[in-house]
């Protein structure tokens, strides 16, 4: 019995030590991930300010190309596609909340809804690229700015979808539990970051 108690005490102590290590590394990983998102903010900001400079340096916007002013983008379609993306932010929030409360079935549902909505947004963006009458990347400053910024955002959405799918696979392998789920927190932060960047881009290209 004495040996059993001693072994039990050792297991408890070892578990407490692992929990302390997890808490410390979680804080460091969170700081690292926030710094990564901040670097992405700097990247997008440099392109956004370049776009604002180009727009303010040209009398008419969209610019005149070959004697004709380029048409404005389809705001109604972009608004619908934006609702799809913002809806995925809501489903991602609820996916994390259901995981915290141990509801694996609801987590799977909302996680897959997020992935499907993210793919839906990318499909809408591809449709818009195919039908936008503004020239290509090298056609004019408006087309170059639009395809560069929205394309870079679309790449982030695609990488985010891949990220979320990997996180979902990890949950199937019990990498996370109800109390240790930093990867899911990081995925949620990343997805909300993608939403916020799109708010700025939607205003710049469709409303301004």
Q: Is residue 179 part of a domain?
A: yes
Report yes or no on 21 lying in a domain: no
Look at residue 12 in the predicted model and tell me its pLDDT. 46
State residue 4's pLDDT score. Answer: 42
Q: Do residues 150 and 205 lie in contact, with contact meaning Cβ atoms separated by under 8 Å?
A: yes
Which CATH number belongs to the domain containing residue 106 in this structure? 1.20.120.80
Q: Is the pTM of this model over 0.75?
A: yes
Q: How many domains does the chain have?
A: 1
What's the mean per-residue pLDDT of the chain?
89
Low-confidence ranges of the chain (pLDDT < 50): 1-12
Helix (H) or strand (E) holding 65: strand 64-65
How much is the pLDDT for 36?
96
Domain that holds residue 160: 36-207
Contact 124, 81 (CB under 8 A): yes
């Amino acid at each position: 019995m004495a040996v059993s108690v001693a072994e039990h005490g050792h297991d408890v102590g070892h578990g407490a030590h692992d929990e302390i290590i997890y808490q410390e590394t979680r804080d460091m990983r969170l700081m690292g991930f926030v710094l990564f998102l901040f670097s992405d903010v700097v990247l997008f900001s440099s392109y956004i300010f370049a776009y604002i400079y180009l727009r303010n340096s040209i009398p008419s916007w969209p610019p005149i190309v070959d004697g004709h002013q380029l048409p404005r983008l389809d705001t109604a379609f972009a608004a619908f596609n934006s609702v799809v993306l913002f809806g995925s932010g809501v489903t991602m929030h609820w996916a994390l909340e259901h995981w915290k409360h141990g509801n694996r079935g609801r987590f799977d549902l909302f996680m897959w809804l997020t992935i499907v909505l993210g793919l839906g947004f990318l499909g809408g963006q591809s449709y818009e690229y195919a039908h936008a009458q503004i020239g290509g990347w090298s056609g004019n400053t408006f087309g170059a700015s639009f395809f560069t910024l929205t394309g870079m955002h679309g790449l982030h959405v695609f990488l985010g979808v891949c990220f979320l799918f990997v996180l979902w696979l990890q949950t199937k392998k019990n990498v996370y539990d109800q109390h240790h789920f930093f990867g899911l927190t990081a995925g949620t932060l990343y997805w909300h970051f993608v939403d916020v960047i799109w708010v700025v881009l939607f205003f710049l290209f469709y409303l301004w």
